[in-house]
Amino acid sequence: MAPPSTFRGVNSCSSLGIGLAGFGTVGSGVWNTLHRNGQLITGRTGGGVTLHISKILVRDPARVRATVTEVPREVFTTDWRALVEDPAVDIVVELIGGTTDAFEIVAAALRARKPVVTGNKALLAERGVELFALSKEMDTPIHFEAAVAGGIPIIRTVQDSFIGNRIHSFSGIINGTSNYILGRMTDAGLTFEAALAEAQALGYAEADPALDVNGWDAAHKAILLATLAYGFPIDPKEIHVSGIEQVRPTDIAFAKNLGYVVKLLAVIREHADGSVELRVQPSFIAKSNILASVHGVFNAVAVHGDAAGESLFYGRGAGQDPTASSVVADLVEAARSLRQTTGHRGFLPYRESGELRPVSETSTAYYVRFDVTDRPGVVAEIATVLAAHRIGISGIHSPVDPSDPDAEFKDMVFLFHTCSFGKLQSALDEVAELDCINSTPVVFRIETLG
């Protein structure tokens, strides 16, 4: 099989055509970036990369954003097959989202031996096994820098700069919406519902914010990072994901008093036996840790490699221009691979399988909030169950108003010493059966980060 550059004869082209599937916030940002900086890109690549958008897939051409600069109407199509099959299209950019039509577009482009650029983390996390196999079969790469952390070049860094490192761990804040919400709860004392409404009003959260607040947007990104670092496909069903929907001002206040902040944290860690820990959950992290100072919609990823040591990558995790910047960087890389026969430059899994460590075998300290009935003996009942499971208690608190010590309390907070999550969960399942417990206990990990 001939490499794509020979097969398609693109070395003789003066310009490479892009098929842009999707023209929303990011797609229009890609158009504007190329329109604004096209000559700069060509100059920086020694005149070897000239890019133009040949075709744009939209649902309704009449609803194209008026703010986009000088888009000829004839480039629009509503037929994705026409985009992929157009001989003027050399590279396909998928920005429509979802995992159905997006899968068909990417798969068709790969079969046509047209490199793909995508920012679709859900697609790659859930159907990446199929697509990466097809990419390898067709010797045609998938580039996905924009799928993780917006404008932060974390994907290329892991692929290239850390290629000689055994990566021990990632820990990161990789969902800007949840970080904004938790920040407003911390700084302004807002409830979760009020902070979410504010994020939606500012355009930081979608009308349906489920993937952001339930942790799965961050989880999809974490799966991609782990797949890159450890080289084997990961089934989303096998990882532990918990969101921020149950975070209350009570939890934020306790964290502050204890010297912590609450963040939605993605943790990826390789253990000595080769198993990989991967989980996403709201966590307490020390105020002294650099991740605690990541505010607003910004993202940050800390990477620990055996040779490079600790590195931190920080920047905007979403938005039109940062994400478009990552898409354009991938476009340049895809264009270079077409013009110069340098081999497959996308991700290629290098192991058929690996072992994910069960979340039950992962260990931290914990903060647990119990919704209890105010009556004598509540603490003793809970503590008796925990003692039977040999779980150490480092603190017990109830948010009683000092000015009214006889007021009824509802929340009881326990702090636990480090133990396995499985042991904790077994104990909490038993505690939840007590008559004094009114709802499922809420768990936050207390993280010790390097």
Determine the distance from the C-alpha atom of residue 329 to the mean position of all C-alpha atoms in its chain, rounded to a whole number: 19
Cite the DSSP H helix spans in 340-412. 378-388
Q: Element (H or E) spanning 413, and its range?
A: strand 411-420
Yes or no: say if 240 and 226 are a contact pair by the CB < 8 Å rule. no
Choose among 294, 252, 228, 270: nearest CA to 356: 270
Alpha-carbon span 322 to 446, nearest angstrom:
31
> What secondary structure does DSSP assign to 166-197, as a single string?
-EEEEEEE--HHHHHHHHHHHHH---HHHHHH
Q: Element (H or E) spanning 60, and its range?
A: none
Q: At what angle do helices 121-138 and 216-230 cross, to 10 degrees?
A: 30
Helix-strand-coil percent breakdown of the chain, rounded to 5? 40, 25, 35
Name residue 445's beta-bridge partners: 283, 366
Alpha-carbon span 415 to 393, nearest angstrom:
6
Alpha-carbon span 15 to 48, nearest angstrom:
9
Choose among 129, 151, 114, 145: nearest CA to 337: 114
Q: Which long-range contacts (CB under 8 A, 24 or more apart) does 426-433 make?
A: 426/389, 427/385, 427/386, 427/388, 427/389, 427/391, 428/368, 430/385, 430/389, 431/370, 431/382, 431/385, 431/386
Yes or no: say if 37 and 74 are a contact pair by the CB < 8 Å rule. no
Range list of β-strands (E), 242-392: 260-270, 276-286, 298-305, 309-316, 363-371
Is 221 one of the annotated active-site residues of the chain? yes
Place of tokens 């994400």: 323
Choose among 366, 357, 355, 356: nearest CA to 425: 366
Active-site residue identified among 114, 221, 256, 263: 221
Catalytic residue numbers, as ranges: 221
